[in-house]
């Protein structure tokens, strides 16, 4: 079984490039792409966004579920429109988890319930990697490390909002105390 499909690789590349452009865009009155910031935001997007999405995929695969990254073209379009207006809106896509898959002999894994823990752990994987990254980067000085800390913490905080389809709704149903702990850590890291 292949790890990434061609469509998934395409969607990941398009999403990463779109995020880099959105972050590196200079707002009014100096419209344009700040080429000097592209390497800087490439590191940030790979560490914050890409690791978040891949953590969901890796955790789902650990539970023998099929998972793939799907680009959300409307989210990228909204991001580009808001970018021109000077706002940073980023929702380029998400990992879609298929709670069953068929093997060579027709084995079918049944759909897990959110309360069973599997979907809760899959949902927690993305924000958890962001919180861990933010904690590690907060130990270092410098603009890049400060940005990596803030963006990872902000991404975790946003994804932990308990509104479906965000990760927080699944984590809250699964283990409310874990959700409260993660929200508290994310808030502390965002507002430090």
Candidate list 7, 53, 113, 118, residue with the active-site label: 53
Region of 117 (left: φ > 0; alpha: ψ -120 to 50; beta: rest) is left
Q: What does the alpha-carbon distance between residue 27 and residue 30 come to, in Å, rounded to a whole number?
A: 6
- Whether 53 sits among the annotated catalytic residues: the reply is yes
Strand partners, 26: 32
Task: Enumerate long-range contacts of 168-172, CB under 8 Å, 24 or more apart.
Answer: 168/123, 168/127, 169/123, 170/114, 170/119, 170/120, 170/122, 170/123, 170/124, 171/120, 171/123, 171/124, 171/127
State how far the Cα of 59 lies from the Cα of 63, in Å rounded to an integer: 7
Tokens 């970018």 belong to residue: 83
DSSP 110: P
Active site residues per annotation? 53
């Amino acid at each position: 079984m292949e790890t990434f499909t061609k469509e998934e690789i395409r969607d990941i590349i398009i999403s990463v490039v779109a995020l880099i452009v959105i972050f590196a865009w200079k707002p009014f009155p100096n419209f344009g792409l700040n080429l000097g910031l592209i390497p800087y935001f490439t590191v940030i997007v790979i560490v914050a966004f890409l690791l978040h999405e891949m953590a969901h995929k890796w955790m789902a695969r650990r539970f023998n579920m099929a998972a793939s990254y799907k680009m959300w073209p409307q989210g990228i379009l909204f991001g580009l429109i808001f970018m021109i207006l000077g706002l940073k809106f980023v929702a380029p896509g998400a990992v879609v988890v298929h709670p069953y898959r068929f093997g060579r002999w027709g084995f079918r894994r049944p759909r897990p319930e959110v309360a069973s823990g599997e979907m809760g752990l899959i949902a927690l994987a993305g924000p958890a990697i962001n919180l861990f990254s933010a904690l590690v980067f907060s130990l270092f000085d410098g603009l890049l490390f400060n940005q990596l800390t803030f963006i990872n913490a902000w991404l975790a905080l946003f994804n932990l909002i308990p509104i479906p389809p965000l990760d927080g709704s699944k984590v809250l149903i699964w283990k409310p105390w874990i959700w409260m702990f993660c929200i508290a850590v994310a808030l502390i890291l965002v507002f430090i």
